[in-house]
Amino acid sequence: MTADGWWTVVAAVLMVIGLCGVVIPFLPGLALIWVTAVVYGFVVGWGPGGIAVVAVLSALLAASIATSFIVPKRTAAASGASTFAQFGGLVGAVIGFFVIPVVGVIVGALAGVLVVEMLVKGNWDEAWTATKGTAKGLGVSALIDLGFGLLMIVVWSTWAATVVFG
Protein backbone atom coordinates (compact mmCIF):
# COMPACT_ATOMS: atom_id res chain seq x y z
CA MET A 1 0.00 0.00 0.00
CA THR A 2 1.28 3.48 -0.83
CA ALA A 3 1.83 6.23 1.72
CA ASP A 4 -1.32 7.98 0.47
CA GLY A 5 -3.22 4.75 1.02
CA TRP A 6 -2.02 4.51 4.62
CA TRP A 7 -2.89 8.15 5.27
CA THR A 8 -6.34 7.48 3.83
CA VAL A 9 -6.84 4.57 6.25
CA VAL A 10 -5.67 6.70 9.21
CA ALA A 11 -7.99 9.52 8.16
CA ALA A 12 -10.93 7.12 7.78
CA VAL A 13 -10.35 5.73 11.29
CA LEU A 14 -10.18 9.23 12.76
CA MET A 15 -13.39 10.16 10.97
CA VAL A 16 -15.20 7.13 12.36
CA ILE A 17 -14.01 8.18 15.84
CA GLY A 18 -15.42 11.63 15.08
CA LEU A 19 -18.70 10.06 14.06
CA CYS A 20 -18.81 8.16 17.36
CA GLY A 21 -18.23 11.49 19.08
CA VAL A 22 -21.68 12.57 17.98
CA VAL A 23 -23.22 10.18 20.50
CA ILE A 24 -20.36 9.75 23.00
CA PRO A 25 -19.87 13.16 24.64
CA PHE A 26 -16.19 12.93 25.58
CA LEU A 27 -15.06 12.13 22.02
CA PRO A 28 -14.66 14.96 19.53
CA GLY A 29 -17.42 14.91 16.97
CA LEU A 30 -17.86 16.47 13.58
CA ALA A 31 -15.03 18.92 14.16
CA LEU A 32 -12.67 15.93 14.20
CA ILE A 33 -13.99 14.83 10.81
CA TRP A 34 -13.42 18.33 9.43
CA VAL A 35 -9.93 18.72 10.93
CA THR A 36 -8.97 15.27 9.65
CA ALA A 37 -10.03 16.23 6.12
CA VAL A 38 -8.00 19.45 6.26
CA VAL A 39 -4.89 17.65 7.57
CA TYR A 40 -5.44 14.96 4.95
CA GLY A 41 -5.31 17.64 2.26
CA PHE A 42 -2.01 18.94 3.54
CA VAL A 43 -0.54 15.44 3.81
CA VAL A 44 -1.62 13.91 0.48
CA GLY A 45 -2.02 17.10 -1.52
CA TRP A 46 -5.17 19.00 -2.34
CA GLY A 47 -5.51 17.75 -5.90
CA PRO A 48 -8.30 18.88 -8.17
CA GLY A 49 -11.19 18.30 -5.77
CA GLY A 50 -9.66 18.73 -2.32
CA ILE A 51 -10.48 22.41 -1.83
CA ALA A 52 -14.06 21.89 -3.04
CA VAL A 53 -14.51 18.93 -0.69
CA VAL A 54 -13.22 20.89 2.31
CA ALA A 55 -15.52 23.77 1.37
CA VAL A 56 -18.50 21.39 1.34
CA LEU A 57 -17.39 19.86 4.65
CA SER A 58 -17.07 23.36 6.12
CA ALA A 59 -20.61 24.18 5.07
CA LEU A 60 -21.90 20.92 6.54
CA LEU A 61 -20.04 21.56 9.81
CA ALA A 62 -21.48 25.09 10.00
CA ALA A 63 -24.98 23.75 9.36
CA SER A 64 -24.46 21.14 12.08
CA ILE A 65 -23.35 23.76 14.59
CA ALA A 66 -26.39 25.87 13.79
CA THR A 67 -28.83 22.97 14.16
CA SER A 68 -27.12 21.92 17.40
CA PHE A 69 -28.30 25.20 18.90
CA ILE A 70 -31.58 25.72 17.08
CA VAL A 71 -33.21 22.27 17.39
CA PRO A 72 -32.82 21.78 21.17
CA LYS A 73 -33.81 25.39 21.86
CA ARG A 74 -36.97 25.18 19.76
CA THR A 75 -37.94 21.77 21.13
CA ALA A 76 -37.36 22.93 24.70
CA ALA A 77 -39.36 26.10 24.12
CA ALA A 78 -42.18 24.11 22.51
CA SER A 79 -42.38 21.94 25.61
CA GLY A 80 -42.67 24.99 27.83
CA ALA A 81 -39.09 25.40 28.99
CA SER A 82 -38.39 29.00 29.98
CA THR A 83 -35.36 30.91 28.75
CA PHE A 84 -34.00 30.72 32.30
CA ALA A 85 -34.34 26.94 32.28
CA GLN A 86 -32.56 26.70 28.95
CA PHE A 87 -29.72 28.79 30.37
CA GLY A 88 -29.77 26.52 33.42
CA GLY A 89 -29.36 23.58 31.06
CA LEU A 90 -26.30 25.21 29.53
CA VAL A 91 -24.76 25.85 32.96
CA GLY A 92 -25.65 22.31 34.04
CA ALA A 93 -23.99 20.88 30.93
CA VAL A 94 -20.75 22.71 31.70
CA ILE A 95 -20.79 21.61 35.33
CA GLY A 96 -21.75 18.06 34.37
CA PHE A 97 -18.86 17.85 31.94
CA PHE A 98 -16.40 18.31 34.80
CA VAL A 99 -18.26 16.37 37.49
CA ILE A 100 -19.45 13.20 35.73
CA PRO A 101 -17.17 11.59 33.14
CA VAL A 102 -18.64 10.67 29.74
CA VAL A 103 -22.34 11.42 30.28
CA GLY A 104 -22.00 14.52 32.46
CA VAL A 105 -22.86 16.97 29.70
CA ILE A 106 -26.23 15.34 29.08
CA VAL A 107 -27.07 14.63 32.72
CA GLY A 108 -25.98 18.13 33.74
CA ALA A 109 -27.98 19.82 30.99
CA LEU A 110 -31.17 17.97 31.86
CA ALA A 111 -30.67 18.46 35.61
CA GLY A 112 -30.08 22.17 34.99
CA VAL A 113 -33.34 22.49 33.07
CA LEU A 114 -35.27 20.56 35.70
CA VAL A 115 -33.89 22.48 38.70
CA VAL A 116 -34.26 25.93 37.16
CA GLU A 117 -37.72 25.18 35.79
CA MET A 118 -38.79 24.01 39.26
CA LEU A 119 -37.44 27.25 40.75
CA VAL A 120 -39.12 29.40 38.10
CA LYS A 121 -42.51 27.68 37.89
CA GLY A 122 -42.67 25.69 41.11
CA ASN A 123 -44.60 22.94 39.36
CA TRP A 124 -43.11 19.47 39.03
CA ASP A 125 -45.26 18.45 36.04
CA GLU A 126 -44.34 21.52 34.02
CA ALA A 127 -40.66 21.19 34.96
CA TRP A 128 -40.64 17.51 33.99
CA THR A 129 -42.41 18.23 30.68
CA ALA A 130 -39.84 20.91 29.88
CA THR A 131 -37.00 18.53 30.75
CA LYS A 132 -38.43 15.76 28.55
CA GLY A 133 -38.80 18.25 25.70
CA THR A 134 -35.20 19.33 26.14
CA ALA A 135 -34.07 15.69 26.11
CA LYS A 136 -36.04 15.11 22.92
CA GLY A 137 -34.40 18.15 21.32
CA LEU A 138 -30.94 16.95 22.28
CA GLY A 139 -31.72 13.50 20.86
CA VAL A 140 -33.06 14.87 17.59
CA SER A 141 -30.05 17.16 17.34
CA ALA A 142 -27.70 14.18 17.84
CA LEU A 143 -29.49 12.27 15.06
CA ILE A 144 -29.18 15.25 12.74
CA ASP A 145 -25.48 15.51 13.59
CA LEU A 146 -25.09 11.81 12.87
CA GLY A 147 -26.58 12.41 9.43
CA PHE A 148 -24.27 15.36 8.85
CA GLY A 149 -21.30 13.23 9.94
CA LEU A 150 -22.19 10.40 7.60
CA LEU A 151 -22.62 12.86 4.76
CA MET A 152 -19.26 14.47 5.55
CA ILE A 153 -17.55 11.07 5.44
CA VAL A 154 -19.22 10.16 2.14
CA VAL A 155 -18.15 13.48 0.59
CA TRP A 156 -14.58 13.02 1.85
CA SER A 157 -14.57 9.42 0.60
CA THR A 158 -15.13 10.58 -2.97
CA TRP A 159 -12.01 12.71 -2.70
CA ALA A 160 -10.06 9.95 -0.94
CA ALA A 161 -10.98 7.51 -3.70
CA THR A 162 -9.43 9.82 -6.30
CA VAL A 163 -6.27 10.09 -4.18
CA VAL A 164 -5.91 6.34 -3.67
CA PHE A 165 -7.11 5.07 -7.04
CA GLY A 166 -6.04 8.00 -9.19
Specify the pLDDT at position 124.
93
Q: Residue range 36-57: average pLDDT? A: 93
Model confidence band, residue 48 (pLDDT cutoffs 50, 70, 90): confident
> Does the pLDDT value for residue 136 go beyond 90?
yes
pTM, full prediction: 0.86
Specify the pLDDT at position 153.
97
Alpha-carbon distances of 132 from 5, 77, 99, 125, 138, rounded to whole Å? 46, 11, 22, 10, 10
58-93: pLDDT as tens digits: 999 999 999 988 998 899 999 999 999 999 999 999
> Does the pLDDT value for residue 102 go beyond 90?
no
Domain ranges of the chain: 3-158
